[in-house]
Structure 1
Amino acid sequence: MSRPSLYALQGFVASARHGNLSHAAQSLHLTVSALSHQIRGLEEQLGQRLFVRKARGVELTADGRRLFERVAEHLEAIEQAMRPYRARRDDVLTLTVLPSLATSWLVPRLPGFVELHPRLELNLQSTVDLVDFERDLEVDAGLRFGRGEWPGLRSVHLFDDWVTPSASPALIERLGRPTPRTLKRFPLLGSSGTWSRWFETYGGTPPQRFVANFDDSETMLRAAVEGLGIALGRSTLIRPLVKAGLLVPLFTERLKSDKAYHLVYPARSDDHAGLAAFRKWLFAEARGYAALDSAPPPP
């Protein structure tokens, strides 16, 4: 008996997993008739009936189930082994970026990059989730906020960040402007972690409770803009809000964040021409921003 074709086995496995020829054909970018032809040919070649056709799909026979158990995991292994060798386009660059960094820092600067590289297609995935570069092979690199320790990845430091208490003009008008000693009497947003470091460094004592806590920085800063309380915000995120007159830094003192921004990428992206162009531009932007951020914004 001649060996079954790999395409026929792929069609068989997809049909078994979906239990529906239409869905399986769609996943394989085939017509239903083409997939049906593959399965009939495989059944004739093996001399076994692999599926029972039902009104709403297909169901494996006992022989079909045995075949599926024997070949499915091997086809998956072949697929995983071949994924790194798929053709890569150096004129397409896919990045994963934190939403807060994308909005406040990267996107406002991107027109300059696009002007320099008009033929490079840039795809941004804005997410707080860490991408698994081993699994998500379409993603070439990412911008992350952390301590620079991501096992198995290249990690290049871009710039540090600083935090300082900031409030809306409306809150300052309503409650006045605090001093480091009176800060605890004001409505504070966040949690005890970074605020404790602030009070330890600049004096005063933290409050017994905070007005509200948030699981992401953007929402906390939005609450500060609306006058809910004082936020201990990162300079990278609050600078556009300060420039727009929506927030006011309360003190010249700042506290260096224990994390920083990094460009990260897997070894497979070392020779990506699009990433090389982006990296060169990004480092220049980061150096300029770090120099600008070396002095705190005026209160």
Structure 2
Amino acid sequence: MLAHVSLPAVRAFEAAARRGSFRAAAAELNLSPSAVSHAIVKLEKALGVALFERNGRSVALTINGETLMHHVRNAFDELRRGLESISAQGPQLLRVHSAPSFAAAWLTPRLPVFLAQHPGIELRLAAGTDYTRFTSDDFDVDIVYGPVRGDGLATIDLPQETVTPLCTPALADTIATPADLLRANLIHSDNKQVRWNHWFQVNGMSAPAPQGIRFDRSFLALAAASDGLGVALESTMLAEREILAGRRVAPLAGLARDVRYVGHRIVLPSFNQQRRIVRSFVEWLQGSFEVKDFETKT
């Protein structure tokens, strides 16, 4: 069967099926519409089935056409991955998905370093709380917060994060013991794994009734803390730049027990691990973490 089917004919079929038009497929492939039509007719004769329903200038896939398109799309995706994995020519596209707070507070500020070290890479970054399934091939790497969901995935834990109360230097001057937090305005992050009740429990105290300001993203809670709206319980990894700049401090550093845990993980399809561009990003990401302890209020 394959001896009677040419790759250009399959390519014409794929383009026409994807674009829904012989004319659009022809423009994409730099061919004439008649050449695309002829190639598809030849493919249909070789297979003995109709692949398209023709209605004037518009075309639609038949049931057999939809079945073939499913397999052709997967085959072309696999071929593209193979070519990209060994290609060292021209710009290479890296598509990254990330948890929103990690993307905003940690990853984006460091991307200029990565891009400077890898000038041939074109990077696209999207952020969301949804988990990338990779089935649509929209992304190469995901940086997730929390547990990993999905099969056939490679997972790499990022370093442990330290979760501690954070606030402005002025507010920190009013906090000398963990008990002082019982009278403070506490900022809550609803989607965090480590919340105020966990922190108070670790420090042998009962948490106050939930009240104050609530956010659904850590970077919003951190921004509120920087604006002096209260005390946020957040990761020093996500707050690192603000801490180093002196806009946020850990008022109870050395005076209370912090919570340490693995919050973020790199996730990618197992077959993507060997792609040069993906390896470069993962290795850079792992090498970009430095252990920092914030021991004082200033």
SS at structure 2 position matched to 1:232: strand
- 1:28-70 Cα shifts (integer Å, max 9, x gaps): x235x624432145448759894121xxx5145xxx7365356
- Equivalent-residue separation in structure 1 for 2:14 and 2:149 (angstroms): 39
The equivalences for 1:108-257 within 5 A come to 108-109=109-110, 117=117, 120-121=120-121, 123=123, 125-128=125-128, 129-133=130-134, 135-136=136-137, 139=140, 141-146=141-146, 151-169=151-169, 176-177=174-175, 179-190=177-188, 194-252=195-253, 253-257=256-260
Contact 1:190/1:232, CA 8 A, preserved across alignment: yes
Equivalent position amino acid for 2:164 in 1: T
Structure 1 residues 106 and 13: CA distance shift in structure 2, 3 A? closer
Shift in Å at residue 199 of structure 1? Answer: 1.1
Q: How does 1:66-85 map to 2 (within 5 A)?
A: 67-69=64-66, 71-85=68-82
Aligned residues: 282
Partner of 2:84: 87
State the one-letter code of the partner of 2:75: I
Deviation at 1:217, TM superposition (A): 0.9
Select the structure that is richer in helix. 1
Give the direction of change, closer, same or farther, for the CA distance of 1:35–1:12 in structure 2 (3 Å limit): farther
Judged with a 3 Å threshold, the aligned counterparts in structure 2 of structure 1 residues 256 and 126 are, in CA distance, closer, same or farther, namely farther
- Counterpart of 2:297 in structure 1: which amino acid? P
Find the aligned partners of 2:231 and 2:160 in 1 and give their Cα distance: 22
Distance between the aligned counterparts of 1:100 and 1:201, measured in 2?
Answer: 24
Q: Please point out which of 28, 39, 44 is paired with 2:37.
A: 39
Partner of 1:268: 271
- Please give the root-mean-square deviation of Cα atoms over the aligned residues, in Å: 4.1
Asked whether the 8 Å contact 1:148–1:260 carries over to 2, the reply is no
Amino-acid identity (%):
26
Cα distance in structure 1, aligned partners of 2:139 and 2:297? 43
The Cα shift of 1:160 comes to 0.8
State the shift of 1:161 in Å: 0.5
CA distance in 1, matches of 2:273, 2:227: 44
| SS, match of residue 189 in structure 1 | strand
Whole-angstrom CA distance in 2 between matches of 1:59 and 1:226: 58
- Structure 1 SS opposite 2:84: coil
Distance in 1 of aligned mates of 2:177 and 2:75: 64
For 1:114 and 1:66, the matched residues in 2 are separated by 45
Distance 1:10 1:78, change over 3 A: same
8 Å contact kept, 1:184–1:204: no
Task: Show CA shifts across 1:141-178 (max 9, x none).
Answer: 454444678753333344111111122346568xx447
Partner SS for 1:181: helix
Unaligned stretches of 5+ residues in structure 1: none
Structure 2 unmatched ranges of 5 or more: none
In 2 relative to 1, CA 108–19 (structure 1 residues): closer, same or farther, beyond 3 Å? closer
Which is further off, 105-114 or 155-164? 105-114
Are the equivalent residues in 1 in contact too, given 2:25–2:36 (CA < 8 A)? no
SS in 2 for 1:247: coil
Shift of 1:222: 1.4
Q: Say which SS state the counterpart of residue 162 (structure 1) adopts.
A: strand
1:90 to 1:214, Cα distance in 2 relative to 1, 3 A: farther
Give the TM-score normalised by structure 2: 0.71
Tell me if the contact between 1:144 and 1:263 (Cα under 8 Å) persists in the aligned partners.
Answer: yes
* SS of aligned partner of 2:259: strand
Deviation at 1:111?
A: 5.6
8 Å contact kept, 1:147–1:258: no
Name the CA distance, whole Å, in 1 between partners of 2:258 and 2:195: 9
1:65 and 2:66 correspond: no
